[in-house]
Structure 1
């Protein structure tokens, strides 16, 4: 039995090693084929003057090994899509060169074409690596706690409310809240933070992040299909299937361009022997050179390597683009519109001031308000309760609790009727109302507290502005981008946030459809607009904008699905980084297109005027392809 197990383990190990080797060959197959092609061509060239019969088979081998993949791709495109592409042009040129005895030139063409194809594949693989690595990091099982007993279950069986144990060094299997323990969590895969983040009871953790040296008990917040990690995987899949509009236009243009090149090459091959007295070998050779130098390989490789490099670099720092078109759209924006709550601000109210009146102390007013509000789920109620707990006040459960939507709450507490809410709901006297409303005019939210109809005090609350908001707005201004605040909040709050963050203008009291109208107005006034938001009410404006950005950690499902760019770390500084990167992609693409087009034009003119040798045409054309790919890969640094 032991021998059988040992044999099985060896077999499994051998299978894994074999699989690894095949995976390695699959990843590097094009580069290997190009290398073997070049080696065969070099050996054949060395033998050509010594043993002609041995040189030709080596040339044929170089043609087959180096050109098989591209020839198959060209034939597949012609059969399935009924169009000819640059792969077919290259194969025709190499075959034409061989047909008139120029084996070496054709082999050099095949080798450099295969080498540039391998480099382009490497660019795509390198660009996708940081994205697809997310899928491989997906946890499979979790330690679910059931009556102090552990059981290993697939993460698909976890439900909100379950509790899971995460031991030191393990992946966190769910989005949830820490209920016991403390540890440093490495969450760079989700948020892009390079430094571990300390987590303790009450703080949120994400699927796929790595626990440090402490043990954690985590309460599940979302099912595995709804986790931030799962959404990121969906973004990855959509990103890999997308390409920018310029690339789609280029692929449509390629079909017509290739037909034009083939017609011109046919004319170069047929007309000069009939009309100018050229020899057939000379005409065919010139036509083959024309096929090479006029092929748009460098032009076709000018866009996607740069775009994919930008997407890869962004993914490493917690910035996800859903597709190449989103990189292009962001590079054109002239205005960025911000939502307020959860975007420019943290989205969590905190108490800024408590005032007791009519003989009630500050602590008495706060204790009464927090005891009444403890049964409410409203953000204002939660902020008041948090402040009372922070001050160490012992809350007591009220009786006959009633919540009046949009106005406030009331309950019986210590045998008195208490109300907490707006001034017109609690009916406080004018002096107290005016004193509290004075804070409201400064951008704070004010609620009043009464006991049996008598004012007991008022509480001012405010949403904290993000620490990086002013820095991000200033950086956008330096990039010549106008910033606008669009919010449904009152004008006083909007004005206070706008002043503190430094945005150029603001609009307040907006319903979701009115935000859309503001986006369209900004588009007419300034040009392309990007919208940044996190809530359900932001989704229509996100859809209407030219570029849309969602706050990944705090954002709602609707916002994340509607937006095309996601800030996984909720760091507004990332938007300035994204704009700068998108504009750099735009510059690199323009450089590549101008360079590639210029080289093609120069080589075509030189061929017609002077008749350049095929190897020079190959080196000039394929060399320009390699250079534009390398230029696009600069963004990976």
Structure 2
């Protein structure tokens, strides 16, 4: 916390409007379904159809009037969509086929059958529309959590401002129950923050001074003073909204194929219907009424409604379920690709590990005081922002050491850093310098130092040297701790028959040690960003579809090269999140296996739906041509199959 910040006393807090509270889990709500406009139109059409049937016995004219109203209410939306497709794209779609079939049934006196067709077709369309709305709400419900204003503290005074006016370094007050308006660090206060809207975590996370908080999350029971660290347009929340917008425009390959098939298939159905209406009276000596009736039945049962509805409800349900667990897909295409995963490749640092190295061993050479040497090392490393340097500084602070001033500090590219402390020059950097020193005499037992290095690297640690001139003064071993769920995440992937690879820029010994602890199948070490790309390409050629998991800028090229790039949302870099196809908002890599399993399940449901739809269409068409079936049976069989495939896709929402 900066010294210039002026914090009001606790008693000065004033309560605002009723807090919005945390977003609640979304469950099936019949009222939400009934509020859907298409559902209201479908149900209205059905009720008027029943009324028309009931009055048909005593007033034929009134019955027909009611049927016309039923047709209009139930078919208006679909007829409009069909006409727009015909005018804009100059193509036929399933909507026009159904309207034509209903009108055809009416022209030969089958008003009730036509109305039933309209009703069930409208009902299935409303169900699909509801599915899509429900899924989009599950993905983007956090958009409603976008805070509009923030309470900014300036010279001890509190002012309410638009979040667009916030700048990095501003001090904000967030009262209990309010939305946190910006990404930042807690300066003062303690509270449990509900992050479920972003990470999917079911329990609030305790926050206190120094902890990071995110825009769009809900403060708990205590006031928090937060220093803004990111502008409004660059927050984690803003990036998520951008991902959601991308997800709504992405269409899976299978759906594109069905849309192309629908256009061709619709023309074939119309052409065949015209042939069935004109040819049989001349070739088979059928009556014109029987011919027209069978043609109308064919038009109904041959339409691809169920086939068209086989994919998107299942896809959207799976994406929706993933979003509730904190996994955001940028479109159905990536869900489809993830189902085909053969290899999951992990970057090591920040993915399989926490990404925060810690000093595990500090060894002072003969004649050097350990605390004095640590103080000197931390003073010099304090000039650097490298993660290893920050770990050494943290170690000195934990030991209660006071850092000293450094003169002539200079970065040694590709090796380390040097500086002068109390008139004495020191260098700290990679231990590979020992390989060069072995060719010249030194004043310490070099073999002993090299033996120590081999032991430490064998334990998976990164080793740095402290050089006093040309003499080795000490050695520092650092290690990045494994994520608690890393081993379980790898094991679950392997249980799905997926190979697990680890790609890292670390030395082979460190990589082998981490690989042994996690149980990965393939280890690739000493890699530059372009090397990671080459290995991802090789894995794709050898095994097939590859999911790459990473969090840093150096992972971005590999994420783009993989079949599916999966970015870490909480600590991932902006570049990694931009390029990733899927974002793991809670950084829980254990969820990757369950996400792949869900993707595979969605693909199984899509296949079930498509096989079922084709089977029903073929059965009804053949039955109509060979023996003839009643129009009501054709309506129920065809539209019933459409409703069933939609409901089958909705199972994934459970």
TM bucket, shorter chain: over 0.9
CA distance in 2, matches of 1:127, 1:143: 33
Question: Does the CA contact (< 8 Å) of 2:458 and 2:513 recur in 1?
Answer: no
Question: Does the CA contact (< 8 Å) of 2:190 and 2:207 recur in 1?
Answer: yes
From 353, 358, 372, the equivalent of 1:364 is 372
Match of 1:109 in 2: 117
Instruction: Provide the aligned length of Structure 1 versus Structure 2.
Output: 615
Q: CA deviation at 1:162?
A: 2.2
CA distance in 2, matches of 1:422, 1:597: 65
Q: Deviations over 1:355-394 (max 9, x none)?
A: 1221334323222211222222121110011112122223
SS in structure 1 of the partner of residue 188 of structure 2: strand
Match of 1:241 in 2: 249
Q: Which has the higher helix share?
A: 1
Match of 1:253 in 2: 261
Q: CA deviation at 1:136?
A: 1.1
CA distance in 1, matches of 2:210, 2:473: 32
Match of 2:306 in 1: 298
Match of 2:638 in 1: 621
SS in structure 2 of the partner of residue 211 of structure 1: coil
CA distance in 1, matches of 2:507, 2:631: 72
CA distance in 2, matches of 1:407, 1:588: 54
Residue 275 in structure 1 maps to residue 260 in structure 2: no
CA distance in 1, matches of 2:37, 2:255: 26
From 591, 598, 617, the equivalent of 1:574 is 591
Match of 1:41 in 2: 49
Match of 1:133 in 2: 141
Residue 470 in structure 1 maps to residue 480 in structure 2: no
Match of 2:204 in 1: 196
SS in structure 2 of the partner of residue 587 of structure 1: helix
Question: Does the CA contact (< 8 Å) of 1:358 and 1:455 recur in 2?
Answer: no
CA distance in 1, matches of 2:371, 2:334: 52
Change (3 A) 1:215 1:406: farther
Moved more, 141-150 or 408-417: 408-417
From 377, 389, 405, the equivalent of 2:397 is 389
Change (3 A) 1:579 1:25: closer
SS in structure 1 of the partner of residue 341 of structure 2: coil
Moved more, 480-489 or 357-366: 357-366
Change (3 A) 1:95 1:424: closer
From 216, 220, 228, the equivalent of 1:208 is 216
Match of 1:484 in 2: 501
Ranges in structure 2 where 5+ consecutive residues have no aligned partner = 1-30
Moved more, 366-375 or 34-43: 366-375
SS in structure 2 of the partner of residue 210 of structure 1: coil
CA distance in 1, matches of 2:467, 2:341: 51
CA distance in 2, matches of 1:24, 1:454: 75
Question: Does the CA contact (< 8 Å) of 1:408 and 1:425 recur in 2?
Answer: no
Moved more, 462-471 or 175-184: 175-184
Question: Does the CA contact (< 8 Å) of 1:356 and 1:364 recur in 2?
Answer: no
* Correspondence list, 1:598-609, <5 A: 598-609=615-626
Residue 585 in structure 1 maps to residue 602 in structure 2: yes
Match of 2:14 in 1: none
Q: Deviations over 1:58-98 (max 9, x none)?
A: 11111111111111110011000100101100011000010
Question: Does the CA contact (< 8 Å) of 1:423 and 1:433 recur in 2?
Answer: no
Q: CA deviation at 1:411?
A: 2.7
* Correspondence list, 1:294-333, <5 A: 294-333=302-341
Residue 182 in structure 1 maps to residue 190 in structure 2: yes
CA distance in 1, matches of 2:236, 2:426: 41
Moved more, 140-149 or 600-609: 140-149
Residue 457 in structure 1 maps to residue 474 in structure 2: yes
Residue 66 in structure 1 maps to residue 74 in structure 2: yes
Match of 2:453 in 1: 437
Moved more, 141-150 or 531-540: 141-150
Question: Does the CA contact (< 8 Å) of 1:344 and 1:469 recur in 2?
Answer: yes
Match of 2:5 in 1: none
Match of 1:552 in 2: 569
From 514, 532, 538, the equivalent of 1:515 is 532
Question: Does the CA contact (< 8 Å) of 1:436 and 1:446 recur in 2?
Answer: no
From 65, 83, 89, the equivalent of 2:91 is 83
Q: Deviations over 1:172-227 (max 9, x none)?
A: 11111222222111101111111000112222111101111122222222111111
Match of 1:17 in 2: none
Q: CA deviation at 1:407?
A: 2.2
Q: CA deviation at 1:46?
A: 1.3
State the Cα RMSD in Å: 1.8
Question: Does the CA contact (< 8 Å) of 1:311 and 1:321 recur in 2?
Answer: yes
CA distance in 2, matches of 1:182, 1:413: 39
Moved more, 276-285 or 230-239: 276-285
Q: CA deviation at 1:513?
A: 2.0
SS in structure 1 of the partner of residue 147 of structure 2: coil
Change (3 A) 1:404 1:147: farther
Question: Does the CA contact (< 8 Å) of 2:34 and 2:40 recur in 1?
Answer: no
Q: Deviations over 1:516-542 (max 9, x none)?
A: 221121122111111111112212211
CA distance in 2, matches of 1:142, 1:375: 35
CA distance in 2, matches of 1:402, 1:327: 48
Q: CA deviation at 1:424?
A: 6.4
CA distance in 1, matches of 2:258, 2:330: 21
From 225, 236, 239, the equivalent of 1:228 is 236
Moved more, 107-116 or 174-183: 174-183
Question: Does the CA contact (< 8 Å) of 1:533 and 1:559 recur in 2?
Answer: yes
CA distance in 2, matches of 1:214, 1:229: 22
CA distance in 2, matches of 1:181, 1:387: 26
CA distance in 1, matches of 2:219, 2:518: 35
SS in structure 1 of the partner of residue 626 of structure 2: helix
CA distance in 1, matches of 2:238, 2:448: 51
Ranges in structure 1 where 5+ consecutive residues have no aligned partner = 1-22
SS in structure 2 of the partner of residue 360 of structure 1: coil
CA distance in 2, matches of 1:479, 1:422: 40
Moved more, 394-403 or 198-207: 394-403
Question: Does the CA contact (< 8 Å) of 1:432 and 1:455 recur in 2?
Answer: no
Moved more, 400-409 or 215-224: 400-409
